[in-house]
């Protein structure tokens, strides 16, 4: 027996207005799920129709192809926040559709440590474990206790603990297998009255080593604002997905080779940071600029932010193809100069191949 479509299903919905880049074509089908039952119904219907499914939160980490998406795009609008103390910690459980910065603001307002460096990041709570969102020396995986999900294979609800999430640098099992789970809610284990996290040198210069969570939040917001990394309708760099490329994480030998090439070409040594497993993280923004792509670069309707070399921006009237062409040019330039292939950070929807920048 055919599955009934969810009430409120729409066809041919433009996706550009739902993303911070304001680029891309329409979704063949679009549905906003406000309850878990509506979400499950939409997934059942898509499976019955043999349609691919994509999920949309705040649209702040998404590049949509000009042709759009040929399946069902579900905007996850689940709401709710529960704060519960116990066992020397406070657990903050946020539904997937809650605005992320509001979750951080609420936590900091309760003097809870663990999320303060992630202030000002746009998007929704449900997207944070997918990308293992991180900034200024803090990653969300450090405080994730549980992620409630719908398993796409069975359409049953379940929960994954932090170990089962497969967290890595800007990665997780949710990102590695995007068709397996739909995030419903995330529970964070936070420290009541704990100190603010100050691991990042730039942040430490502003607040010092022993700052409160409130002071760290305000400093992070100010730093993000100075780099056009806050959602501001008056900022000429506002149409972006933030950092377009992740910082490359290399073996020590690979990092040494990049340094050798950089010094040999007269651009100095790239900043290096310790990463998990004895590996080395290099600053992608430094590599981009030293490969000749300066802040404020324009390629017609797209370009680089005037304040941050990793942010590709859309100035209006452009296409996703324009943006991807610039990303392709930058990646090729960095690889030719330093032998490092940059990896895109945002989700790329509707491009139809494993590497849209190839």
Which candidate, 311, 128, 323, places its Cα nearest to that of 224? Answer: 311
Give pLDDT, residue 298: 97
Residue identified by tokens 């942040």 is 203
pLDDT value of residue 231: 84
Distance CA 51, CA 127 (A): 22
Say how far apart CA 339 and CA 333 lie, in whole Å. Answer: 9
Within a 10 A sphere around the Cβ of 268, how many other Cβ atoms? Answer: 11
How many C-beta atoms surround the C-beta of residue 97 within 10 A? 24
Question: What residue has token string 């019955």?
Answer: 48
Stated pTM of the model: 0.94
Rounded-to-integer distance, Cα 155 and Cα 118, Å: 31
Token pair, residue 238, equals 């506002």
Write down the pLDDT at residue 74. 98
pLDDT under 50 in the chain at which residues?
A: none
pLDDT of residue 210: 87
DSSP3 helix / strand / coil % (the chain, rounded to 5): 30, 30, 40
Buried b vs exposed e over 21-50: b needs ≥16 C-beta within 10 Å?
bbbbbbbbbbbbbeebebbbbbbebbeeee
Q: What is the largest CA-CA distance in the chain?
A: 69
Query: Which structural domains are found in the chain, ordered by start?
Result: 10-76 (3.30.43.10), 81-226 (3.30.465.10), 240-349 (3.90.78.10)
Dihedral (Cα; 233, 237, 239, 243), 10-degree rounding: -130
> How many other CB atoms are there within 10 angstroms of residue 225's CB atom?
14
Give the C-alpha separation, 103 to 81, whole Å: 8
Summarised one tens digit per residue, pLDDT across range 316-339 is 999 999 999 999 999 999 999 999
What count of Cα atoms within 13 Å lies in the side-chain half-sphere of residue 287? Answer: 28
pLDDT at position 358: 78
Q: Are 171 and 140 in contact (CB under 8 A)?
A: no
- Both tokens assigned to 19: 């993303």
Count of Cβ atoms closer than 10 Å to residue 151 Cβ: 13
Active site residues: 170, 243, 345
* pLDDT, position 4: 94
State how far the Cα of 262 lies from the Cα of 355, in Å rounded to an integer.
27
Rounded Cα distance between 61 and 241, Å, is: 5
- Mark 227-249 as b/e (b = at least 16 C-beta within 10 Å): bbbbeeeebebbbbbbbbbbbbb
DSSP string of 296-358, one letter each residue = T-EETTEEE-SS-TTEEEE-SS--HHHHHHHHHHHHHHHHHHHS----B-SEEES--SS-TT-
Lookup: tokens for 239: 């149409």
Whose CA is closest to 196, among 275, 276, 119? 119
pLDDT attached to residue 353 = 75
Instruction: Give the pLDDT confidence of 235-288 residue by residue, as tens digits.
Output: 999 999 999 999 999 999 999 999 999 999 999 999 999 998 999 999 999 999
């Amino acid at each position: 027996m055919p599955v009934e479509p969810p009430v409120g299903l729409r066809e041919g919905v433009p996706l550009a207005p739902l993303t911070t880049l304001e680029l891309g074509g329409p979704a063949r089908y679009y549905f906003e799920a406000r309850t878990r039952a509506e979400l499950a119904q939409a997934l059942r219907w898509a499976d019955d129709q043999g349609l691919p499914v994509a999920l949309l939160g705040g649209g702040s980490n998404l590049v949509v192809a000009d042709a759009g998406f040929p399946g069902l795009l579900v905007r996850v609008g689940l709401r709710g926040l529960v704060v519960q103390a116990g066992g020397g910690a406070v657990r903050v459980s946020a539904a997937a559709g809650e605005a992320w910065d509001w979750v951080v603001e609420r936590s900091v307002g309760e003097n809870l440590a663990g999320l303060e460096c992630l202030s000002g990041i746009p998007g929704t709570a449900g997207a944070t474990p997918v990308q293992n969102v991180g900034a200024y020396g803090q990653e969300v995986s450090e405080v994730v206790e549980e992620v409630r999900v719908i398993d796409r294979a069975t359409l049953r609800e379940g929960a994954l603990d932090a170990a089962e999430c497969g967290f890595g640098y800007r990665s997780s099992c949710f990102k590695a297998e995007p068709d397996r789970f739909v995030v419903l809610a995330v529970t964070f284990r936070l420290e009541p009255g704990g100190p603010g996290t100050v691991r990042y040198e730039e942040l430490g210069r502003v607040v010092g080593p022993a700052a409160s969570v409130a002071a760290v939040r305000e400093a992070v917001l100010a730093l993000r604002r100075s780099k056009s990394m806050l959602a501001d309708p008056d900022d000429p760099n506002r149409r972006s997905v933030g950092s377009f490329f992740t910082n490359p994480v290399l073996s020590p030998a690979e990092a040494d080779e990049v340094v050798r090439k950089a010094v040999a070409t007269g651009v100095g040594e790239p900043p290096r940071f310790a990463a998990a497993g004895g590996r080395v993280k290099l600053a992608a923004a430094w590599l981009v600029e030293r490969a000749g792509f300066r802040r404020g670069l324009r390629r017609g309707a797209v370009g680089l932010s005037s304040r941050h070399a990793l942010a590709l921006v859309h100035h209006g009237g452009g296409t996703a193809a324009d943006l991807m062409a610039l990303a392709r040019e930058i990646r090729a330039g960095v690889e030719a100069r330093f032998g490092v292939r940059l990896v895109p950070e945002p989700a790329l929807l509707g491009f139809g191949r494993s590497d849209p920048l190839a």
